[in-house]
Structure 1
């Protein structure tokens, strides 16, 4: 019906047609309209239908203008919508920290920074990323967008992935991650940092935590996650098996470590004394070894940006600023360089494989990034 008049609607060769009969909606005129519809159907069947001349199907006195209508093109979802659906699909398989950091970073870039959210503007998006982001960030972003669109094609949300192979065109200078950005403190610098924390009016609460990091080489997230059930009653071992990471909803404690499910760390007398000195009377297994001032988990990133930075600024101006993670590199470097006197009086150096086991990394990592750089080659006499 159109304006109270019967209208014929049909498809031919992928187009939709409307013919206004001019008939009022009565039983008698419905039969007449049906006859016209049958006539059109027969002409199409016998291949005598002429879409350019439809006058024969229009009753006398009815409007002669007939307009073919092309169905509207289906609107594709934009990158913001695709990324939201992709994130929800991936959520069960992602760690809280990956969701909170990596996936949120992509979401913010799409919603706040990209010049367009349309998948049709992939080239413009690539060019903007290359111009405005460091090479590794641009490459990572294009890789994520490509993965999202690849999933979207499989999910029949879009027809093609416009970001395919774009990331491969970007050359990234060899960079450094936290694990390979190695710039350790000297043992003298280490001791100054610990002592300054102990005497600091605002941040002395964290002194034991900082000392523990230097003495074990563990990752800050692993130390934050320690509870007294992980410390042996005789203070002979520490069991690392969980870590506190940043999630979408704040700090969460997750089972397992970065590269392994768990590891056991042997405690020397100096470390045992530290742990004994901070264990509260009547401590229960679930109590945190290193609680934040108000009892929650320590936020390592906040500590790095505030307390750690503030304390290092009080030290000798010649001491170059380095991140909290360098406590780990300081331990590994010292463990490889410091001779150990054995009970029988012999001198021994810890092997790279042993140090790797202590800190929860691979021997390959130790050999490539620590041992090789510290051992000087020489030619023996023979």
Structure 2
């Protein structure tokens, strides 16, 4: 996650002749990692959807048909804005903008073509990181969502909350993500310490 974001921010693999440097997409990539939203939801966001303390995910744009519609689950949802997201928005919010302006527009002002981005930008960047040993294997941009969900579960956030944030079901979270969290340990309740500190002997029966 850190290696991918850094490569975009610093134009590590961006050609000096590229019409659009990789850093142009850095905020978009960070947003995917920090929210776990679907790419078609991210490219559909308008500034009117960014409220003071939360994001309103209510629309999606499928690149193949270029039609704006409701989210995949047909249910709008809210996502809380933390300090990291505030920094992202602060860096890209224009001084003068309309509420209907896109948050992550393509260079021409329309929605980002996620297929072109995947093949022409994301894939070359990640493959270069693999060659340098900074990333283990290739995964598409959609896996930013999987990364976010996994990190939330590893941090102990309940499946119900993660499902609400990401617009999915607890069943999907439990079936596809919870089983991959291998390092979770049985919690300690401090009972053993209390018992060992006691000087009282239990008489034999």
Would you call these one fold, judging by a TM-score over 0.5?
Answer: yes
Structure 2 gap segments, 5+ residues each: 15-20, 193-205
User: In 1, are the aligned partners of 2:39 and 2:142 still within 8 Å (CA)?
Assistant: yes
Q: Secondary structure at the match of 1:238?
A: strand
| Residue of structure 2 equivalent to 1:313 | 127
Moved over 4 A (4+): 375-382
TM-score, normalised to structure 1, is 0.44
Is 1:203–2:22 an aligned residue pair? Answer: yes
Report 1:138-149 matches (<5 A).
Answer: none
Is 1:354–2:167 an aligned residue pair? Answer: no
> How far is 1:378 from its partner?
7.4
User: In 2, are the aligned partners of 1:244 and 1:252 still within 8 Å (CA)?
Assistant: yes
The number of residues matched between the two structures is: 178
> How far is 1:362 from its partner?
0.2
> How far is 1:379 from its partner?
8.1
Question: Paired residue for 2:145, among 320, 328, 331?
Answer: 328
Offset from partner CA, 1:280-311 (integer Å, 9 cap, x none): 01211110000001111101111111100111
User: In 2, are the aligned partners of 1:224 and 1:243 still within 8 Å (CA)?
Assistant: yes
RCO comparison, higher one (Cα < 8 Å, 6+): 2
Counterpart Cα distance in 1 of 2:63 and 2:187: 52
> How far is 1:208 from its partner?
0.5
Report 1:276-287 matches (<5 A).
Answer: 276-287=90-101
User: In 2, are the aligned partners of 1:260 and 1:360 still within 8 Å (CA)?
Assistant: no
Distance 1:379 1:310, change over 3 A: closer
Counterpart Cα distance in 1 of 2:23 and 2:6: 9
Is 1:252–2:63 an aligned residue pair? Answer: no
| Residue of structure 2 equivalent to 1:47 | none
Question: Paired residue for 1:219, among 34, 38, 59?
Answer: 38
Distance 1:240 1:379, change over 3 A: closer
Counterpart Cα distance in 1 of 2:139 and 2:187: 37
| Residue of structure 2 equivalent to 1:85 | none
> How far is 1:314 from its partner?
2.6
User: In 1, are the aligned partners of 2:130 and 2:138 still within 8 Å (CA)?
Assistant: no
Structure 1 gap segments, 5+ residues each: 1-189, 339-348
> How far is 1:246 from its partner?
3.4
Kindly report the root-mean-square deviation, in angstroms, between the aligned alpha carbons of the 2 structures: 2.0
Bigger Rg over Cα:
1
Q: Secondary structure at the match of 2:177?
A: helix
TM-score, normalised to structure 2, is 0.81
> How far is 1:273 from its partner?
1.2
Counterpart Cα distance in 2 of 1:251 and 1:354: 31
Distance 1:282 1:353, change over 3 A: same
| Residue of structure 1 equivalent to 2:203 | none
| Residue of structure 2 equivalent to 1:24 | none
